[in-house]
Amino acid sequence: MPSAILLFLAAGALLGCAPPADAPAIADDGGSLDAQGTGEDSATPTDGSSDAGDDAAAEPLIGPFTPFSNGITVAEGSGDRDVFVYGGYTAKLPSVESWAKALLPAAGLRPRRVYAIQGPQDVSYAAKEIQNSSIVARYLREPAPTTVTVIAHSSGSYVAHEFLSQLDGAGLLDGLGALAGKVDFRNLDGGTGLPTTTAKKLRSILCVYAEDATLPQGRSANAQTMLNGCAAGASPFRVGYSKPTGCNDGARWCLHDAVVTTRPHNPANFDLARDYAEFEGRAVVTDYLR
């Protein structure tokens, strides 16, 4: 892992890796993100609260996840909404599936289908190894749902951007398209890069970050990117904590996971394997889906 971190820092990677505590995250344009204590917020965020109970969520009423295409599994439900859950860099499918199973009932979502998508193998998703196009092909040949909710954490936002762009390229988001006016996108402390033409065709976009008000430096790793606007027409959304998250002061990569769970497992860093899958004594975050 240390050698991988050095490689990502040298490449100027934005997401999913864990740089040293004194190293800033690097933006897509080469700029520095989330410089704590400098400047004012560039936008007024919608405010959420994650001070709710710590009970683990019940299992959702969906069938088992089964393989769908490269990097993607799907579970069938009895509702009328399709939900996509994109994991962060290196997140394994079982972990993403566990997050989805906790998230859906806690948020009161009744899915028709739930797609779990593994994290990209590199931080910026340069390899393009996830087969998003298989889902687009399915939408072109089958009846559309009433609503589509796309949730992407960290580097998973780049994989989600590809998917949304493919929907647009296939004409599904246009005025007479099957998904026109139906798609909501939730970018959880991720990156930028969704084409403006595509972003303007979505029903809503929230740029979600976490802030622990009990810490002098208590914002998640990519909070400033979210405040600046992660896509055209998007709104920042603050997952706010008035009680301690358990993260260390200045531990931006621990707080990076506080958009997923109310109490990340590693107080100094992210831990996707546990933060996506273990919710005993902590709650899954759903504020941005209200």
Domains and CATH numbers, the chain: 46-289 (3.40.50)
Per-residue pLDDT of the chain in tens (290 residues, 90 and over written 9)? 444 333 333 333 334 433 333 333 323 322 222 322 222 334 568 888 777 444 444 544 699 999 999 999 999 999 999 999 999 999 999 999 999 999 999 999 999 999 999 999 999 999 999 999 999 999 999 999 999 999 999 999 999 999 999 999 999 999 999 999 999 999 999 999 999 999 999 999 999 999 999 999 999 999 999 999 999 999 999 999 999 999 999 999 999 999 999 999 999 999 999 999 999 999 999 999 98
Classify residue 39 by burial, with Cβ atoms within 10 Å: 0-12, 13-18, 19+. exposed
CB atoms inside a 10 Å sphere around CB 35: 11
What are φ and ψ of residue 23, in 5° steps? -105, 130
Beta-carbon contacts of 22 under 8 Å, excluding residues fewer than 6 positions away, are none
Which element (helix H / strand E) includes 11? helix 2-11
Beta-carbon contacts of 88 under 8 Å, excluding residues fewer than 6 positions away, are 15, 16, 119, 153, 154, 155, 156, 270, 272
